Amino acid sequence: MCYALNRRLPGFSGDSVRVFLVNLRAGDMVNFTFADNVKGYSSPVVPDIVHFVFLGNRPLTLVDAISIRAAWLQKRPRRLVLHCQNCSALSLSFHWALVERIPGLDIRHIEVPEADSSVRYTDAELTPLLALTVLLAEGGIYVDRDTYLMSNADVYRRFEMSLALPQHGQVRTELIVAHRNARLLRLLLNGYRRLFSQPGGPQPTELFSRMDKVLPANFSSMSLFHHIPVTVKDAITRGNSIEFSSPETARMLYAATCDDSWRHLAAVSLMTGSAEQMTETRGEPPVNLAAIALSRTNLGQMARLALSGTTAVGETRIGHVSDISVLQYAEDPCKF
C-alpha cells in the first residue's frame, strides 16, 4: 500500500508515506518525523487552548488579570485554562471579577512535584516544569502569567512546536506553542526533571541555562521546533517577535513614552517586580486601576486595551470581554 501511494505521490518517500498513514489512522499527529518546522503545516496542528500556570498562595494580581484578558481578546481560544496550586487564592481575590466570566474559562488544580535535592526552588522557577507538563498532557499555547500576548499566535499553531531560543542564550518559556506529541517537548521536560532531581541539584537560576547538558549537542539546529523571533537591543522590532526582560523593555513599557513600538510584537514580558520595573516606576506597582485611564505610558495603553478594548487615554469603562468585538487602537492614544 505504501509503495502504491508513493508511486501516486512523487516527492514523498516510503517512510514519509508510512508516517502519514500512522497519523491518519490515529486521527492526530502522533509522529512528527518529517515535520517542516520552517514552513509549517498548511493548517493548525496545535489545539486552540491557552494555558496559564499559577503556583503558591498568591492572589490574582491586576497584572495577571490584564495578561489573561489580553490573551483571550487577542486569541479568542476555544478554551482558556488556569492551572493553579491554590485555586481558592485566585477565585477569592479582588481582581477575579475581571476574568471570571471569560468564555471557555477552565480552572484546574495542579500538583507541584517535590525536588529530590536540598536546593529550594521558588514558584517562578518551578513554573516552567509545570508548563511543560501541561503541554505534554494536552498541547496548546502556554503564556507566562507575566507575559502580555499581542497577537493571536495562530501562525505558531501550524508547527510541531514553537519557542524562543535567543542566540547563545537559555531556553525561554514565556511563550510556548506545542502539540502534545512534539519531540522537543518531551526532551525538555525529561531534561528539566533530571536537573531538578539531581542530588545537591543546580541552583534555581541555572536550570534552563544548563539544559544543553541534557539535550543533544546540536538540538538548537535540529528541525525540532520553530524559532519565535526575539527582539534584541538596538534592533528594529520585527513582526511576531517576543521581547524579554531588559532595561530597554522596562523603558519601553514604563517610561513616560507613548507610541506604537509595542504593537508589532507577538508578546512582551511585563517584568513585574524586577529591578528594572521598580526603577522605572520609582518603586510603585507597575499599574493600578485608579491610574490606568490616565496613564501616558505604553503599559497604560496595553492595560486599557485589555480592560476596555481601546488604547485611548481617559477610558474608564471596564468591559466584559465578550462585549469587546473589535480592539481599537487610537491614532493618538495619550492625548485627550
Q: What's the Rg (C-alpha) of the chain?
A: 21
- Pair (114, 71) in one structural domain: yes
The residue range of the domain holding 253 is 241-323
Cross-strand pairs, 82? 52, 107
- Which three three-digit cell numbers place residue 324? 469587546
* 18 to 1, 27, 35, 68, 159: CA distances (angstroms): 9, 14, 13, 41, 20
CATH number of the domain bearing residue 160: 3.90.550.20
- Pair (96, 190) in one structural domain: yes
Non-local (6+) Cβ contacts of 176 within 8 A are 131, 132, 135, 141, 142, 161, 162, 163
Q: DSSP code of 230?
A: B
Q: Which amino acid is at 281?
A: T
What is the reported pTM? 0.86
- Pair (77, 208) in one structural domain: yes
Tell me, yes or no, whether 156 lies in a domain: yes
Question: Tens digit of pLDDT per residue, the chain (336 long)?
Answer: 343 334 434 455 555 545 444 444 444 555 677 788 899 999 999 999 999 999 999 999 999 999 999 999 999 999 999 999 999 999 999 999 999 999 999 999 999 877 665 667 788 878 888 999 999 999 999 999 999 999 889 999 999 999 887 665 667 889 999 999 999 898 888 877 777 777 666 665 565 666 566 666 666 666 888 988 887 554 444 557 888 878 888 888 988 778 888 888 899 999 887 887 888 877 677 788 888 999 999 999 999 999 999 999 999 889 899 999 999 999 888 887
- Which three three-digit cell numbers place residue 136? 505534554
- Pair (207, 245) in one structural domain: no
Q: DSSP code of 174?
A: S
Classify residue 240 as left (phi > 0), alpha (psi -120 to 50) or beta: left
Tell me, yes or no, whether 57 lies in a domain: yes
247 touches 183 (CB < 8 A):
no
Tell me, yes or no, whether 305 lies in a domain: yes
- Pair (205, 64) in one structural domain: yes
Tell me, yes or no, whether 134 lies in a domain: yes
Please report where in the chains the cell 514519509 appears, as a residue.
16
- Pair (169, 290) in one structural domain: no
